[in-house]
C-alpha cells in the first residue's frame, strides 16, 4: 500500500469553490432615465384636456346652431325683405321724411294690401264653400244619373249617402282630423310668431340701414368699406330686379287666367286671377298647384267640365312660363343666365327648402355681380372658331385627318385591276 502524505488533500478531484461576481453598481443617471421613460409626458395631459375641451365646444356649438337655425333663416328672409323695400324707404327719406316713419308707412301699405286681399279672398272662398255644401245633393244626383246612364247601374242617392256615412275610412278620417286640431293650431301659432319675427327684423334692417352700414364699416379699413358698400348696393339692385320680374310675371299670369275664367263665366274672376298670379310666383315649388286648385274648385261649382279646362290651361301656361317667359324676364332683370337661375333655385331648395328657392336667384345675382369686378377679362381674338364656325381652307384636324391619310395610303385594288 502506497504511503500517504498527510499534507495532500483528502479529495484531490473536488471542484474548486465558485466565486460570485457582484453586479455592477447602477448609476443615479440611469435610474432617472428609466423613471422618465416610465413617467407620462408633461404635455400629454394638457393635450388630452385641450382635445376634450375642443370636442365639447364643437358639440355645444353644433347643438346651439341647430337650435337657432330657424331664427337665422328668419333673419335671412328679413334681410332680403329689407333690401326689397330699401329703394322706397330711401326715396321717401330723401324727400325729408324720417327713415323710421318712411319704413312704417311702407309696412303699413303692404299690410293693408295683404289684409284686404286675404279678407276678400276669404269671404269669396267661404261663400263658395257654403254654396257647394248647399248644392251638394244636386251635384250628387247629377253624378249618380250620369253613372247610371253610362254603366247601366241602379244607384240611388240614399244608398250612396248611407254608404259614405257608415264607411270605415270616413270614421277614421274624422278621428284623425279631430286629433290633429291641436297640431294645426300649434302650427298656425308658430307661423304667426315667425311672421312677426320676420316683420320686426325687416323693420329694423330697413329703418336702421345707414346705422347698420356705419357700424359694419367702422371695423373695416377704407378699402374694405368701399367693397362692403358696393356689395350692399348691388344686393339692393338685384333684389329689387328680382321682385320686379316676379311682379311682372304675376301680372301676366293673373291677366291670362282672368281672361280664361271670365270667358268660362266663373264667378270672382278678378280675385282668382290675382290669387293665381301672386301665389304661383311668390310661393316656390308648390305655388303653382296651390294657385290652380282654387280656380278649379270654383269652376267645378259652375260646371265640372270647366274645372277640366282650367286644369289644362294651368298646365299649358306653366310650361310656357317655365321655358319661355321666366328665363327671359329673369335673365334681363336679374342679369344672370337662365341655366344659372334654374340651378340656383335647385341648390337653394336643397339647402333651405322653400326659403332657399325664394332667395336663391337674388343671392346668386348679387354674388355674380360682386365677383365680376375681381375677374380680369381680355379681348377675345377674332377667330371663326369662337363663333362655332370651321376655318375655311383647312382640311380639318384630329381623327378625321388621320383617317383620310390612312385611306390615301391604302392601295387601290380596283383601279389597278
**What are the two backbone dihedrals, phi and then psi, of residue 284, each rounded to the nearest 5 degrees?**
-70, 160
> From CA 193, how far away is CA 119, in angstroms rounded?
20
First to last CA, the chain: 134
Cα separation, 402 vs 285, in Å, equals: 52
| pTM strictly above 0.85 | no
Give the pLDDT of residue 344. Answer: 79
Q: What is the mean pLDDT of residues 33-41?
A: 62
How many CA within 13 A on the CB side of residue 372?
Answer: 11
- The predicted structure's pLDDT at residue 1: 47
Dist CA 69 CA 56 (whole Å): 20
Q: What is the pLDDT of residues 173-207, one digit of tens each?
A: 666 665 565 666 677 777 788 888 888 998 988 88
DSSP 337-363: -HHHHHHHHHHHHHHHTHHHHHHHHHH
What counts of helices (H) and strands (E) characterise the chain?
18, 0
d(CA 415, CA 417): 5
pLDDT digits (tens, 9 = 90+) for 223-239: 888 888 888 887 787 77
CA–CA gap between residue 398 and residue 405 (Å, rounded): 11
DSSP category for residue 278: H
Give pLDDT tens digits for 7-22: 555 555 555 555 555 5
**Dihedrals phi, psi of 291, to nearest 5 degrees:** -70, -40
Cell of 216: 359694419
CA distance 335 to 262: 36
Q: What percent of the chain has pLDDT over 70?
A: 72
pLDDT for residue 87 is more than 80: yes
The most confident of 51-60, 125-134, 309-318, 366-375, by mean pLDDT:
51-60
Residue 398 has pLDDT above 60, yes or no: no
More confident residue, 1 or 332: 332
Cell 460570485 belongs to 20
CA angle 299, 303, 307 (to 5 degrees): 45
Amino acid at each position: 500500500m502506497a504511503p500517504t502524505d498527510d499534507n495532500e488533500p483528502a479529495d484531490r478531484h473536488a471542484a474548486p469553490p465558485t466565486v460570485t461576481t457582484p453586479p455592477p453598481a447602477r448609476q443615479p443617471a440611469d435610474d432617472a432615465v428609466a423613471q422618465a421613460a416610465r413617467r407620462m409626458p408633461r404635455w400629454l395631459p394638457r393635450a388630452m384636456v385641450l382635445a376634450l375641451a375642443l370636442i365639447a365646444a364643437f358639440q355645444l356649438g353644433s347643438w346651439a346652431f341647430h337650435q337657432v337655425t330657424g331664427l337665422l333663416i328668419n333673419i335671412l328672409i328679413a334681410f332680403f325683405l329689407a333690401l326689397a323695400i330699401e329703394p322706397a324707404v330711401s326715396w321717401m327719406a330723401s324727400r325729408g321724411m324720417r327713415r323710421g316713419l318712411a319704413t312704417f308707412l311702407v309696412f303699413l301699405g303692404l299690410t293693408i294690401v295683404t289684409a284686404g286681399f286675404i279678407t276678400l279672398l276669404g269671404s269669396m272662398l267661404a261663400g263658395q264653400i257654403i254654396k257647394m255644401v248647399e248644392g251638394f245633393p244636386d251635384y250628387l244626383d247629377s253624378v249618380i244619373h250620369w253613372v247610371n246612364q253610362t254603366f247601366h247601374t241602379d244607384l240611388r242617392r240614399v244608398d250612396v249617402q248611407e254608404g259614405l256615412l257608415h264607411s270605415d275610412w270616413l270614421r277614421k278620417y274624422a278621428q284623425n282630423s279631430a286629433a290633429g286640431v291641436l297640431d294645426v293650431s300649434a302650427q298656425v301659432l308658430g307661423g304667426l310668431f315667425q311672421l312677426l319675427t320676420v316683420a320686426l327684423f325687416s323693420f329694423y334692417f330697413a329703418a336702421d340701414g345707414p346705422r347698420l352700414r356705419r357700424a359694419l364699416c367702422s371695423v373695416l379699413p377704407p378699402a374694405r368699406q368701399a367693397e362692403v358698400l358696393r356689395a350692399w348696393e348691388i344686393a339692393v339692385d338685384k333684389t329689387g330686379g328680382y321682385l320686379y320680374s316676379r311682379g311682372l310675371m304675376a301680372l301676366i299670369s293673373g291677366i291670362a287666367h282672368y281672361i280664361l275664367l271670365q270667358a268660362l263665366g266663373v264667378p270672382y274672376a278678378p280675385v282668382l286671377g290675382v290669387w293665381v298670379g301672386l301665389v304661383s310666383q311668390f310661393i316656390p315649388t308648390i305655388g303653382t298647384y296651390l294657385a290652380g286648385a282654387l280656380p278649379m274648385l270654383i269652376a267645378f261649382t259652375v260646371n265640372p267640365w270647366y274645372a277640366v279646362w282650367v286644369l289644362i290651361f294651368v298646365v299649358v301656361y306653366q310650361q310656357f312660363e317655365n321655358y319661355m317667359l321666366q328665363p327671359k324676364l329673369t335673365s334681363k332683370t336679374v342679369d344672370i343666365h337662365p341655366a344659372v337661375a334654374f340651378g340656383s333655385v335647385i341648390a337653394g331648395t336643397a339647402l333651405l327648402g322653400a326659403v332657399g328657392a325664394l332667395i336663391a336667384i337674388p343671392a346668386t345675382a348679387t354674388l355674380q355681380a360682386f365677383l365680376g369686378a375681381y375677374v380680369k377679362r381680355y379681348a377675345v381674338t377674332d377667330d371663326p372658331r369662337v363663333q362655332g364656325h370651321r376655318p375655311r381652307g383647312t382640311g380639318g384636324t384630329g381623327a378625321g385627318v388621320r383617317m383620310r391619310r390612312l385611306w390615301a395610303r391604302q392601295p387601290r385594288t380596283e383601279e389597278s385591276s
